[in-house]
Amino acid sequence: MKLAILQPNFFPYKSYYDLVKRVDKVIFLDDVYYNNKSWVNKTLLKVRSKDFYFRIPINNYKQLNIKDVKVKNEKWKKNFLKMINLEYKYCSNFSLVFPIIEEAISLPTDSISHLSAYSVFKISSLFKDNTKFSFSSIEYPNVKGSIENKILTICRKEKASIYYSLDKTPSNSEKFLRNGIKVSNFISYNGKCSIMDDLMTNHSYNHFLKKECNLQQHERSQ
């Protein structure tokens, strides 16, 4: 079984989704400390052809696990959608992508972990609909220790044959091999710009986007 254990990032970059497509299951690692430098509540967009980091406002996060961090309010959603509309409305795929983004951020939750994980799920399901998703805090709440030991323990319990790591090979990769788990370091080559930018402008996604659009129209007609 191919497994990825990733932090739940908000509309992350393309390579993140490319990794998700390769695995059978993704476990969102949300019972570790939130880091203000992480991408859990942040995404990178192109605004007027320049890099712009959009952050979802969160409440006090010091000494909190990702699963316990709360979104401050919902005002950001209006600003976020307005910005997306202004910057991408003339892109070829805008009419197909914008409704997906709207739905992704409409999840009724104040959990940044669940909200960001849903942004991963919504986009990933365009390309592959049989990947399983879970949270470490729900499925493995009693697994303690360092992050790398936690990941190794989860891999063992999941009976993973391959663990896919994003950008960084675990320092204890030899332990994985001794436990019959191959470590594959998935290097990102496409930069850190959000998948949203690529979806808006890349014609190769048209088939997946139109399929999703037709599905949504069918559901609304029922």
Of 138, 139, 103, 136, the closest CA to residue 11 belongs to 103
Q: What is the pLDDT of residues 190-217, one digit of tens each?
A: 678 999 998 998 866 665 666 655 545 5
Residue 154 is predicted with a pLDDT of 96
Whole-number Å distance between alpha carbons of 206 and 208: 6
**Range in 36-40, 43-47, 108-112, 185-189 the model is least confident about:** 185-189
Q: Which amino acid is at 14?
A: K
Angle of CA points 31, 37, 40, to nearest 5°: 50
pLDDT over threshold 90, residue 58: yes
Could you tell me how far CA 77 lies from the centroid of its own chain?
18
Find the DSSP H helices in 2-111.
14-22, 75-88, 94-105
Residue 218 is predicted with a pLDDT of 41
Residue 126 is predicted with a pLDDT of 86
1 token code pair? 């079984």
Whole-number Å distance between alpha carbons of 80 and 85: 9
pLDDT over threshold 90, residue 166: no
Q: How confident is the model at residue 186 (pLDDT cuts 50, 70, 90)?
A: confident
Whole-number Å distance between alpha carbons of 213 and 24: 25
Residue 160 is predicted with a pLDDT of 97
pLDDT over threshold 70, residue 41: yes
Summary mean pLDDT of the chain: 89
pLDDT over threshold 50, residue 43: yes
Of 166, 205, 203, the closest CA to residue 12 belongs to 166
The residue extents of the domains of the chain are 2-221
Whole-number Å distance between alpha carbons of 121 and 66: 18
pLDDT over threshold 90, residue 104: yes
Q: What is the pLDDT of residues 131-161, one digit of tens each?
A: 999 999 999 999 988 888 899 999 999 999 9
